Amino acid sequence: MLGVVLVALSILVTILIALVVVNLSVGERRVEQEVEHLYSLDDPQFFRSMGLLLGPEITHGNRIKELVNGDQIFPEMLEAIRGAQRTVLFETFIYWSGDIGTQLAQAMAERARAGVKVHVLLDWLGSLRVDPEVPKLLSEAGVEVRLFHPLHWYHLGRMNNRTHRKLLIVDGRIGFTGGVGIAPQWTGNAQDPEHWRDSHFRVEGPVVAQMQSVMLSNWSKTTGCILHGEDYFPALEPVGDQPAQMFASSPSGGSESMTLMVHLAITAAVRTIDIGSAYFVPDAISCKAICAALKRGVRVRVITPGKHTDEATVRRASRGLWGDLLEHGLEMYEYQPTMFHVKVMIVDGILTSVGSTNFDPRSLHLNDEANLNVYDREFAARMTALFEADLRLCHRITLAEWQHRPVREKVHERLATLLAPVL
C-alpha cells in the first residue's frame, strides 16, 4: 500500500514540475545576443527594420490623442462605445468590480440590444474579481463574452500565458490602447494613493485596422471564430499625419518580437531614451543594451513606482538590478504620489512606444502584449513634456543612495532578484 502511495506522489510531483516548466517556457529561443548598433532612428534603415524585419508595416495618416488618467480616459471610451453603429471589440487583462466597470458594461449592453455586434475578451485570471452581475448583464444583452485561458485541464500548460493587452476598437475606426485596467484604481486624476497614474490613447486612421487584427487574433484563438468583413475592417482614409504601427507579441507566435523591437530602438538611440514602466525588471541582455547606449553618450531616464506599488516583490527585484545601470549613468526615478502604471518609451524624440508592455520578463516573454509605435516628433515632444511632468513628482535614486541602502533591503532585493525571470 505504501509503495502505491509513493508511486502516486512521485507521479503527482512529476506532473507538477512538468507543468511549472511548461508554463515558464516561451517555446522559443530567447534573445541572447546584444543587437549591434548599425544606424540611428534618423536613418531610413531603422524604419525598414521596424516595419519589415520585426513587425507590421508602418502606416501613414493617423491621429493619436493622449489621455491622462481616468478622468480623461474613461469618458472618451464611454463616448466611443455609446456612439458605436456596427461593432465593439474589447480585450483587457483587469476587469474588477466598481462603478466604471458597471458603466462600461451598461454602455456595451445598450449597444448590443440596439443590434451592434459586441465582443468582449477578458483574461480569466485578471477578471477573477469582476462583479458577477457584469458578465450576466453583458450576456443577457447579447454581448459575446469569452475568457482567455480559463482554468481547465487543456489550458494547464498555458496558465502562465495571460493576455495583458488593453484594446478597445469601435466600428473598426476608433481604437484605444494603453495601460488602464477596468477598476476603481484607474478612475480619478491620480490625486491620492487610491487613484493610480496612467495613460491611454485614442487612435484614428489606418493603424486602427492593425489594432483590430491584433484583437481578433486572440478572439479567433479563444473561440475558433473568424470575424471579418466591412463591419470589422472598413476602408480607412487618412485623418492625420502621424506614422504608426501596432506591434503585438504572444508566446504562441513571436514572443520575442516585442523584445527585439525594444532592443532595436534602444540600440539605434544616439541622444535620449525615456522609459516609464510600472514594472522595470530588465534582464541581462536588456541591461547590456541600456549600458551600451549610455556608453554612446545617450541620456537614459527611467520612471518606475516608489513606495506606492501593487507588487512589492517586483519593486525589490527591480531595485536589486540597478547597480550596474547607475554606475554607467542611468537616471533612475521613483514616482511618489501614487502607483505609477504608465508604459512608455520615447527614443531620440522620434519614436514613442505606448501600450500594455512593461519592461520586465513577464511582458517581454510570457504575456500577450500590444504596443502602438508612433513615429512623430510632435507627438514625442508632447509625451516627453508629460514624462518630465511626472519626473517632477519623483525622487531620483543616485548611485550613492542605492549603495548605502539598509542591509535588510539589500537582502530582500537579492532574494527577489532570484524570481526576476518570472516576474
Lowest mean pLDDT among 74-83, 114-123, 364-373: 364-373
pLDDT grade for 154, boundaries at 50, 70 and 90: low
Nearest alpha-carbon partner for 300 in 359, 256, 364, 367 = 359
Distance of alpha carbon 240 from alpha carbon 62, whole angstroms: 5
Distance of alpha carbon 290 from alpha carbon 303, whole angstroms: 15
Distance of alpha carbon 150 from alpha carbon 167, whole angstroms: 19
pLDDT at 321 over 50: yes
| Amino acid letter for position 364 | L
pLDDT at 411 over 80: yes
Give the ranges where 153-300 is alpha helix by DSSP (H).
207-223, 257-268, 284-295
Per-residue confidence (pLDDT) for residue 423, from 0 to 100: 67
Per-residue confidence (pLDDT) for residue 207, from 0 to 100: 98
Report how far Cα 20 is from the mean position of its chain's Cα atoms: 24
Cell numbers representing residue 119 in the block: 465582443
Per-residue confidence (pLDDT) for residue 12, from 0 to 100: 46
Q: Is the separation of the CB atoms in 372 and 346 below 8 Å?
A: no
Distance of alpha carbon 201 from alpha carbon 178, whole angstroms: 6
pLDDT grade for 20, boundaries at 50, 70 and 90: very low
Angle, nearest 10°, between helix axes 312-319 and 407-417?
Answer: 100
**Mean pLDDT value of segment 205-231:** 95
Mean pLDDT of the chain: 90
**Hey, where are the domains in the chain?**
26-422
Per-residue confidence (pLDDT) for residue 254, from 0 to 100: 61
pLDDT grade for 28, boundaries at 50, 70 and 90: low
Per-residue confidence (pLDDT) for residue 320, from 0 to 100: 94
Per-residue confidence (pLDDT) for residue 13, from 0 to 100: 40
Higher pLDDT, 232 or 6: 232
Cell numbers representing residue 35 in the block: 543587437
Per-residue confidence (pLDDT) for residue 1, from 0 to 100: 55
Lowest mean pLDDT among 126-140, 165-179, 294-308: 126-140
Per-residue confidence (pLDDT) for residue 31, from 0 to 100: 56
pLDDT at 196 over 50: yes
* pLDDT tens readout for residues 46-89: 999 998 878 799 999 999 999 999 999 999 999 999 999 999 99
**Mean pLDDT value of segment 348-366:** 93
Higher pLDDT, 155 or 52: 52
Residues in the chain: 423
Per-residue confidence (pLDDT) for residue 253, from 0 to 100: 63
Active-site amino acid positions = 164, 166, 171, 341, 343, 348
* pLDDT tens readout for residues 256-266: 788 899 999 99
**Mean pLDDT value of segment 204-219:** 96
pLDDT grade for 333, boundaries at 50, 70 and 90: very high
Per-residue confidence (pLDDT) for residue 53, from 0 to 100: 79
CA distances from 298 to 40, 135, 227 (A): 12, 48, 45
26-422 CATH choice from 3.40.50.150, 3.40.50.300, 3.40.50.720, 3.30.870.10: 3.30.870.10
**Mean pLDDT value of segment 360-372:** 90
Per-residue confidence (pLDDT) for residue 258, from 0 to 100: 87
pLDDT at 97 over 50: yes
Per-residue confidence (pLDDT) for residue 30, from 0 to 100: 56
- Where would I find the beta strands (DSSP E) of 58-97? 59-68, 87-92
Distance of alpha carbon 108 from alpha carbon 102, whole angstroms: 10
Distance of alpha carbon 148 from alpha carbon 367, whole angstroms: 12
Half-sphere exposure of 3 (CA within 13 A, CB side): 0
Q: Which region, left, alpha or beta, applies to residue 69 given φ > 0 means left and ψ of -120 to 50 means alpha?
A: left
pLDDT grade for 15, boundaries at 50, 70 and 90: very low
Enter the pTM of the model.
0.91
Higher pLDDT, 159 or 165: 165
Distance of alpha carbon 281 from alpha carbon 360, whole angstroms: 5
Cell numbers representing residue 186 in the block: 484607474
